[in-house]
C-alpha cells in the first residue's frame, strides 16, 4: 500500500511531509538543543540565523523548538479528534444503514440537524461552557465532525448489506452485531480511510484557528495557532513569527488532503 502511495507525485509529497512531521514530533524535542519554554532576554526577536534557524520570539524563545512542540500538539489533537469522530460516525452510520426503517430515519434527521449548525459556531458555543484546554478541544472537534463519516458509512452499508456475503452470514446465524462489524465494516473501510485523512487536515485547521482566536490551546503551551497570535502582535518588526507557523499548518494540511486524494485513487479505481 505504501509503495502504491509513493508512486504518485501527490502521494510522495504527502508521505515525505507526514513522515518528517511524525519524526520531528517524536524525536525533535530530544535532538534539538533549545527548549520551547526557555526564556532568554538577550535574544529577543532575533531574525532567522544559523543559531536559531527560524528566529526567536518576544521572550527570546527559539521559534523552531516551539514549532516542534506545536507539531506534537497538532498531531495529538487531530488524531484524538478524528478517532472520536470515526467511532461515533461509524457506529451511527452503520446501524442506520444496516437496520434501516425508523432507526435510519431518526439518525438521518439527527445528522441533518447537526449539519445545520455551522461547525465553528457550534464549537464556540460548546467551548463557552468549558475551560479551554487541549483535552476540551480534542473532544469538541471530535463531537462536531462525525456527521460526514456517518453519512458515508451509512451509504456504504446501504449498498453492502444487499450483497451475497451478508446473506450467507445471516444464513449460518451470525448475530446482527457480528454482521455489522465483522462482515460489512471491513468492506467499507476504504472510503472511511479517505475521510479520516481529510478529517486529520480539517481537525488541524480548526484547532489552529481556535488557538489563534484564543479559545484553543492556551499559552505558554505552544501550538501552531497560538504562535501566530504573537506573530500578529509583532508583524511590523518580526515577519518570521507570522510566516513559519502558518506555513507549517498549510503544508501539513495539504499533505493530509493529498494523502486522502491518493488513497481515493488507489482504493477506488473506478473514480479515475
- Residues near other proteins (CB under 8 A) are 109-110, 112-122, 124-130, 201, 205, 208-209, 212-215, 225, 228, 231-232, 235-236, 239, 242-243, 246, 249-250, 253-254, 257-258, 261
Q: How far is the CB of 198 from other proteins (least distance, A)?
A: 9
Judge residue 65's burial from the number of C-beta atoms within 10 Å of its C-beta, 0-12 exposed, 13-18 middle, 19 or more buried: buried
Nearer Cβ to other proteins (169/251):
251
Q: Count CA atoms within 13 Å of residue 175 on its CB side.
A: 3
Nearer Cβ to other proteins (118/186):
118
Residues whose CB is less than 8 angstroms from the CB of residue 45 and which lie 6 or more positions away in sequence, other chains included? 55, 56, 57, 58, 60, 234, 237, 238
Q: Helix axis angle, 185-212 relative to 134-143, nearest 10°?
A: 130
Q: How far is the CB of 31 from other proteins (least distance, A)?
A: 27
Q: What are the contacts of 118-125 at 24+ separation with CB within 8 A? A: 119/144, 119/145, 119/206, 120/206, 120/209, 123/206, 123/210, 124/215
Nearer Cβ to other proteins (164/236):
236
Q: How far is the CB of 45 from other proteins (least distance, A)?
A: 15
Nearer Cβ to other proteins (185/198):
198
Q: How far is the CB of 214 from other proteins (least distance, A)?
A: 7
For residue 101, is it left (φ>0), alpha (ψ between -120 and 50) or beta? left
Nearer Cβ to other proteins (190/246):
246
Cis peptide before 220 (omega within 30 of 0): yes
Q: How far is the CB of 80 from other proteins (least distance, A)?
A: 20
Q: How far is the CB of 261 from other proteins (least distance, A)?
A: 7
Q: How far is the CB of 76 from other proteins (least distance, A)?
A: 18
Report which of 3, 21, 1 is spatially closest to residue 200, judged by C-alpha positions.
21
Nearer Cβ to other proteins (44/251):
251
CB 212 within 8 A of CB 154: no
Q: Helix axis angle, 63-99 relative to 239-267, nearest 10°?
A: 30
Nearer Cβ to other proteins (41/116):
116
Q: What are phi and psi of 268, to 5 degrees?
A: -135, 75
Amino acid at each position: 500500500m505504501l509503495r502504491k502511495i509513493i508512486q504518485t507525485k501527490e502521494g510522495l509529497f504527502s508521505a515525505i511531509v507526514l513522515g518528517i512531521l511524525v519524526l520531528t514530533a517524536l524525536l525533535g524535542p530530544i535532538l534539538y538543543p533549545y527548549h520551547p519554554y526557555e526564556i532568554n532576554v538577550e535574544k529577543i526577536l532575533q531574525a532567522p540565523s544559523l543559531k536559531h534557524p527560524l528566529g526567536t520570539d518576544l521572550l527570546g524563545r527559539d521559534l523552531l523548538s516551539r514549532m516542534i512542540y506545536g507539531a506534537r500538539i497538532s498531531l495529538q489533537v487531530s488524531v484524538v479528534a478524528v478517532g472520536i469522530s470515526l467511532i461515533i460516525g461509524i457506529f451511527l452510520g452503520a446501524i442506520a444503514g444496516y437496520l434501516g426503517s425508523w432507526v435510519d430515519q431518526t439518525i438521518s434527521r439527527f445528522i441533518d440537524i447537526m449539519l445545520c449548525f455551522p461547525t465553528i459556531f457550534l464549537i464556540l458555543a460548546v467551548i463557552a461552557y468549558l475551560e479551554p484546554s487541549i483535552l476540551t478541544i480534542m473532544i469538541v472537534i471530535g463531537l462536531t465532525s462525525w456527521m460526514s463519516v456517518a453519512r458515508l458509512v451509512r451509504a456504504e452499508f446501504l449498498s453492502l448489506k444487499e450483497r451475497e456475503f451478508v446473506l450467507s452470514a445471516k444464513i449460518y446465524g451470525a448475530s446482527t452485531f457480528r454482521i455489522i462489524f465483522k462482515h460489512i465494516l471491513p468492506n467499507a473501510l476504504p472510503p472511511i480511510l479517505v475521510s479520516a485523512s481529510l478529517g486529520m487536515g480539517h481537525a488541524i485547521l480548526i484547532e489552529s484557528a481556535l488557538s489563534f482566536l484564543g479559545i484553543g490551546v492556551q499559552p505558554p503551551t505552544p501550538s501552531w495557532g497560538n504562535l501566530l497570535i504573537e506573530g500578529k502582535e509583532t508583524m511590523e518588526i518580526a515577519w518570521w513569527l507570522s510566516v513559519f507557523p502558518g506555513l507549517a499548518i498549510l503544508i501539513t494540511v495539504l499533505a493530509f488532503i493529498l494523502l486522502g486524494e491518493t488513497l481515493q485513487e488507489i482504493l477506488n479505481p473506478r473514480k479515475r
